[in-house]
Amino acid sequence: MKSLCFAYPGDLETPTGGYGYDRQIIAGLKRDGWKVDLLPLGDGFPFPDDQTLATARKRLNDLPGGRLVVVDGLAFGVMPDAAIELKDRLKLVALVHHPLCRENGLSNAQAHTLESSERAALSGASHVIVTSPATGDQVSDLFEIQKKKISVVLPGTDLPAPRQKNEQTPVRLLAVGTLVYRKGYDLLLMALSRLKQFDWQLDIVGGLEADPACANEIQRLAQDFGLEERLVFHGAIPSDELKNFYQSADVFVLASRYEGYGMAYTEAMAHGLAVIGSGGGAVRDTLPQGAALYCPPDDITSLQSALESLITDRDLRQKLSVGARQAAEKLPGWHDASERFSQILQRVSE
């Protein structure tokens, strides 16, 4: 039987896009006949304490020689010593959702440390799997990894039943993503604070625990801008409950400063929502014309204009809704994603 070890930081059940990707790939590999052993590496990544890092390193060291091991990049990138030490004994595959050093809100020193750490760690990987072509280019350029050593496995997109298109007042806006600086919630609230003359409501679905200081700041901004009665912070919720939010929304908006791919965007498209998005090359590649309005990162004027257009123009919302669903129908499903992942692992293990 084909077998591998999947090593991951934190709680695999955390309701984020990255962990959702991991869960879907693991489930798909099992369906494809792989025996997948799960190896938890501990909490606190990408800034684990010394004890967590030592324990994670020991757990990888305890694996038998020749073992095929996929390590989520949130941990792999800060374990250069383990990667170099084990590169000749284990077949290490790094799963990189996005370069750690490109996370927004880092100090220059933190970014530099993470860049050096991830470069050294990835040099010890037998292969690197990324979740978008844009991320693949970044990994190659930033860390001097040969392109032949990098494979892209796009996240899958499941198509739900068509959404009921009931016109609503107010217009229901939806944002999905953990409350961290990179997701640009401060930009979104600032843009919406200039549109209080229109009838809209915003649901924000995303964990508040990853960066409590940021979450508190966003909630304070909502008060400062006088938006408390126009939005609700729902926190992180299970995926089966999240579907209800997509079904009841009119517009999806996420003002990300950076994304390695942006699974929430494609999920919104699959539900037939008009989408407003930002976040660099990976997001720009994901959001086709006729399905979404793309705004450059940190461009509040562009974001405000896009929001006003979709809040006030029902016909435009409907046009983008149809385009979004059509675009989503062309995206790979999770079966396609796990099958490609499996093929890559088979090549690495030979």
Residues 220 and 143 in one domain: no
Query: Which tens digits make up the pLDDT trace of 18-60?
Result: 999 999 999 999 999 999 999 999 999 999 999 999 999 999 9
pLDDT at 162 over 70: yes
Q: What is the CATH number of the domain that holds 51?
A: 3.40.50.2000
Residue 68 lies in a domain: yes
Question: Which contiguous run of DSSP H or E holds residue 254?
Answer: strand 251-254
Residues 287 and 202 in one domain: yes
Residues above pLDDT 70, as percent of the chain: 99
CA angle 204, 189, 227 (to 5 degrees): 80
Range of the domain at 99: 2-156+333-349
Distance from C-alpha of 297 to C-alpha of 306, rounded to nearest angstrom = 13
Q: What are phi and psi of 166, to 5 degrees?
A: -85, 125
Residues 269 and 201 in one domain: yes
Query: Which tens digits make up the pLDDT trace of 92-110?
Result: 999 999 999 998 888 999 9
Residues 126 and 108 in one domain: yes
Residues 181 and 321 in one domain: yes
The predicted structure's pLDDT at residue 10: 96
Q: What are phi and psi of 168, to 5 degrees?
A: -125, 150
Residue type, 126: S
Residue 288 lies in a domain: yes
CB–CB of 200/311 below 8 Å?
yes
Query: Which residues on neighbouring strands pair with residue 173, listed in sequence order?
Result: 202, 251
pTM of the prediction?
0.91
Residues 99 and 210 in one domain: no
Residue 165 lies in a domain: no
Residues 69 and 183 in one domain: no
Number of domain units in the chain: 2
